[in-house]
Chain A
Amino acid sequence: MPRVTPPSAREEFLAGAFEIAPLLLGLVPFGFVAGIASVSAGMTPLEGFALSVLSFSGIAQLIVCQLVAAQSPVLVAILAGSVVSLRFVMYSATVSPHLAHLDRRWRALLASLMTDQSFSLTTRRFSAPGGPANRHWHTLGMSLTMYVAWQLTVAIGIVAGASIPKAWSLDFAVVLTFIALLVPVVRTRADLAAAVVAAAVALAAAGLPYRLALVVASLAGIAAGMAIERTRRR
């Protein structure tokens, strides 16, 4: 039987919170490492927590911590944080048609809480049959749950950071979480070309100052992906 009335705001919010719950498990080591990284980079606990609360992006937080640890200039640190956050533009473009009916405050709120995980679940929820109705509450339930869980694990990392022995090589867990994010986004031959070229250039250009290699390698990878995509279309 199809429902006559769409789910209420409350039902949507709770459904969103439950749907994101299994993904929180993968968040815990990541947030923990992000918290540790801020302290070991030389930030005060307050600075590390502010970075997390205000930017809510594990990747951006980790890159900024690396650059702070390397004593990079302010603008270089911000530039690197921007480059790794460029994927949000793609998410924003994908999600925006679904949120176009909302007022500006709702759109700003949901945009500010968007993550790699909530982006894909939001797209799925809005693509289900039926009108948009209260579905923005689904996104909010998901995003807020994730936001609270993230800040908690980062806080634990900040507090516990100092007492973790260096021999555990926990910084390697950061690289591994990036591998976990990389694997599912490599779907086509063009994606693979983008990844392989970016990796090769990142190693070849590693001598560039201020970790500019990240910027150069990303652009080279994007160009490679587009070139493969173009030959495939022909």
Chain B
Amino acid sequence: MSHWEIILGVAAVTFLLRASFIVFADPQRFPHAFRQALLFVPPAVLAAIVAPGLALPGGALDLTLANPRWVAGVVALVVAAASRHPLAAVAVGMPSLWLLQWAMG
């Protein structure tokens, strides 16, 4: 398995996406629908990463109380949304998970 091809490929892609408009293109010349679609990239992509991390711990959907991750994740989500502090999710989520894991033995 060649990790270097992946590393160089991702390096090239992240640079080209960052440089896209700044270096190569005139933002005014892109269609409105495309620019609008870009606005929804962050919430969509981030949610698509978070959901499986909470609800699919072993690769299968588990929304029971036997899966502490989604419980701790929802707690972290609520506290982060209420406090708006960038560290809140990690500061609350990790102890919540440890507590739940400890309570379940």
Contacts and interface: CB of A to CB of B under 8 A. Distances in A.
Interface in B7-21: 7-11, 13-15, 17-21
Nearest to A170: B94
Q: Tell me if B's interface is mostly helix, strand, loop or mixed.
A: helix
A183 B10 contact: no
A169 to B, nearest CB: 6
Contacts of A89: 17, 20-21, 38, 41
Contact of A198 (B7, B30, B43): B43
B50 A182 contact: yes
A175 B39 contact: no
Contacts of B86: 23, 26, 180
B80 A213 contact: no
A218 B41 contact: yes
A184 interface: yes
A183 B23 contact: no
A171 B43 CA distance: 21
Nearest to B47: A195
Interface residues of B, number: 67
Contacts of B101: 167, 169
Interface of A: 23, 25-26, 29, 42-44, 47, 50-51, 54-57, 59-60, 63-64, 67-68, 71, 74, 77-78, 81-93, 95-97, 99, 104, 107-108, 110-112, 114, 167-169, 172-186, 190-192, 194-203, 206, 213-214, 217-222, 224-226, 229
Contacts of B15: 111-112
Overall SS of chain A's interface: helix
Contacts of A191: 40, 43
A111 B42 CA distance: 18
A175 B51 CA distance: 9
Q: Which one of B3, B47, B69 has the greatest number of beta carbons of chain A within 10 Å?
A: B47
Interface of B: 1-11, 13-15, 17-23, 25, 27, 30, 33, 35-56, 59, 61, 69, 72-73, 76-77, 80-81, 84, 86-90, 93-94, 97-98, 101
B88 A111 contact: no
A82 B38 contact: no
A122 B53 CA distance: 31
A203 B56 contact: yes
Contacts of B50: 175, 178-179, 182, 199
A71 B45 contact: no
> Which of A56, A78, A179 has its CB near the most chain B CB atoms (within 10 A)?
A179
Given A182-B43, A217-B47, 12 more contacts: A29-B90, A51-B10, A64-B10, A74-B9, A83-B45, A89-B20, A173-B90, A179-B89, A182-B46, A198-B51, A225-B39, A225-B44
Contacts of B88: 180
A85 B48 contact: no
5 contacts: A60-B14, A85-B14, A86-B45, A176-B93, A222-B41
A62 to B, nearest CB: 9
Q: Which 8 interchain pairs have the tightest Cβ spacing?
A: A221-B44, A225-B40, A54-B11, A175-B53, A199-B51, A217-B48, A195-B47, A90-B38
Nearest to A204: B61
